[in-house]
Amino acid sequence: MDLSRLGAFVTKSITLEERPGNEPTRIVETRAGMLNAIGLANVGLQRFLKEKVPLLQKMPCPVIVNVAGHSVDDYTSASAAMDSLECVAGVELNVSCPNVKDGLVFGTDPKRLRSLVTEVKRVVPTKPLIVKLSPNVDDITATARAAVDGGADILSLVNTFTAMAVDINTRKPRLANVTGGLSGPAIKPIALHLVSRVYRSVAQSAEVPIIGMGGIQYWQDAVEFILAGASAVAVGTALFVDPATPNKIVDGLNQYLIEQKVDDLADLVGTLRLP
Amino acid sequence: MSQTRDQYAAEVVASIPLCQEHWKLVLHLQHFPTTAPGQFVQVACRDLELNYSQEQDLDWADDQPVQIDHAELSQRLAFLRRPFSLAGRRDSAGGVEIDLIHRVVGMGTDWLSRLKPGQKVQLIGPLGNRHTLPGQKSSDEAVAILVGGGVGIPPMIYLASQLAGRKAVAFCGAVTRNLLPLTITNAAVAPTATSIEPLYNIEEFATFGIPAVISTDDGSYGYQGFVTQALERYLDRYFMDEPARGRAIIYTCGPEVMMKRVAQIAEARRIECQVAVERAMACGMGTCQSCVIRVKKADPAAAPMPGSDWCYRLACTDGPVFLSTDLLW
């Protein structure tokens, strides 16, 4: 796969301390989607610097590192380390993991989110700071605005939807964590709506670009997100079905631009024709 | 080992019903990297060319059922790929043929069972680590003891093909004869319900000069009881002393409860036991971090998780083959 054609590669979440993750079972396939409760399993900052950075240095596309934490200090320590790495093009804050205790605390409370973003932006002066928003809130425009007010350079949305699945024979939840995050095509229409909402209510006027995600599998999905206001799109779950998905989307977008007689994809961002 | 893993389009050569619910899918590829027993492939159990379908307007009409023709809604489609161990491989000038044996348990395997010769199947592989063969391990006198249960039998068949000419014996168990995905040769002597003497009565193993003991829970063929009971009796008859046990290596794949018992039997006799585990997985490539299994750490101070005497390993890239003595399950 030709990674050089992609806008960026986003890592899974890195935390200050190494984390083993949740007990299995960690994933369940659902209708047109996937439920996961991995629990931020990762090698931690120190091993990330030693073991993963050399791999990232060889990536033929920009690398965005996703950072998660339990406290403001966790986030700032890990983010500051990322800011100093030449191979890192941007830092994305995971304030919306539904699968760890306290994972949603920052992502659902606009005040705490704003102060977290302010603190992190202070230690990430040289790279774009992306804040990944949770859909598990009453009003996503409130957290979007908080992130922007705190200094987010880019918003990415949405993370997974808290959900569950039950084994009717054992009468137990299918995930050891009981609940997990739902992703895949099943969530696409909801994610699209949230991107559209955040774009019109917050991002457009603030001139903060959106990275849209949530169930994107085909280039047509990507176009929908772009029309709704996303400047870029990200693909996650669909990679497990077809690792060539991002390149197929790039091909499809190029073809679409030709057919639509549009020179630059940026000219399509937010051009949804509302009634 | 899996550095050359990639996505390949395979063509269906044959899809053969083996017994109740079990099918053998023979796939042809122009090229496929070197593989070894224990390794697996991630198969897209759906047509990946089945492309985007726009959300549809629904036409509601009185007294008419709503027509839903969105592919994801109108039919049951396996979303994620499914991992299948390799059950066999044949290389020729024309390319590579691989065998996958699967049991129809859901929509993915149901889709596979309906494939017709000539259809295309997308697979990613080869994935995972590999069994250590006896020859790589110890003296020529080594004896490989293969223990497969149900749909864990297929990787034992591939392993058997790599053991031709070596001393080996296969133990295979199923609930009942109709759920045994193996070919019983009529010409051979039929086993009795209490016998644990290996016979050359199973084509998949006899082809490679390996005798087999078959067990069924209900006694409908071979030894009546669990395959672990047959194995234990066999070991107590033929592997009584330390030197004999030291030459043996047990390989096992099957239901977890069976493999745990096989591991206990092996460990009680200090026989090396290589377990091929099965875990729910999404990617098969170490990315999604779903298919974890707990293993002991030799050095608790070492990474990962310094200070802990166990850690998670991934069935997909650290496994699927583990030494039984390393597993905490």
State the pLDDT at residue B139. Answer: 58
Looking at beta carbons, which residues of chain B come within 8 Å of A242? Answer: 7, 44, 48, 122
CA angle B286–B279–B170, rounded 5-degree value: 115
Q: How many CB pairs under 8 A join A and B?
A: 91
Give chain B's count of helices (H) and strands (E): 8, 16
Residue B61 pLDDT class (50, 70, 90 cuts):
confident
| Adjacent-strand bridge partners of B212 | B170, B199
State the pLDDT at residue B140. Answer: 60
Alpha helices, DSSP H only, in A40-123?
44-47, 53-57, 72-83, 105-108, 110-123
- Confirm if A191 and A213 have CB atoms less than 8 A apart: yes
pLDDT tens for B19-44 read: 999 999 999 999 999 999 999 999 99
Q: How far apart are CA B202 and CA B214, in angstroms?
A: 9
* CATH class of residue range B138-277: alpha beta
Contacts of B214 (CB under 8 A, 6+ apart): B172, B173, B174, B180, B182, B184, B191, B201, B202, B221, B222, B223
Question: In angstroms, what separates the C-alpha of B49 from chain A's closest C-alpha?
Answer: 11
Look up the ipTM and state it. 0.89
Give the best residue of A28, A217, A240 to mutate against chain B (max B CB count within 10 A). Answer: A240
DSSP-derived 3-state class of residue A219: helix
pLDDT tens for A81-99 read: 999 999 999 999 999 766 6
pLDDT tens for B300-324 read: 998 888 889 999 999 999 999 999 9
Question: In angstroms, what separates the C-alpha of A179 from chain B's closest C-alpha?
Answer: 15
Chain A contact residues (CB < 8 Å to B): 12, 18, 20-21, 24-34, 36, 38, 41, 43, 47, 184-185, 189, 217-221, 237, 239-244
Looking at beta carbons, which residues of chain B come within 8 Å of A217? Answer: 52
Residue A272 has pLDDT above 70, yes or no: yes
Average pLDDT, chain B: 91
Q: Where are the domains of chain B?
A: 6-49+68-127, 138-277, 279-329
Q: How far apart are CA A128 and CA A114, in angstroms?
A: 16
State the pLDDT at residue B1. Answer: 39
Known catalytic membership, residue A97:
yes
Active-site residue, selected from the candidate residues A89, A97, A133, A232: A97
Closest residue in A to B293 (Cα–Cα) = A24
Structure tokens at B301: 């101070």
Asked: is B6-49+68-127 a CATH 2.40.30.10 domain? The reply is: yes
Domains contained in chain A, CATH given: 3-268 (3.20.20.70)
Structure tokens at B164: 């031709």
State the pLDDT at residue A127. Answer: 97
Give the burial string for B252-278 (b: 16+ CB within 10 Å, else e): bbbeeebbbbbbebbeebebbbbbbbb
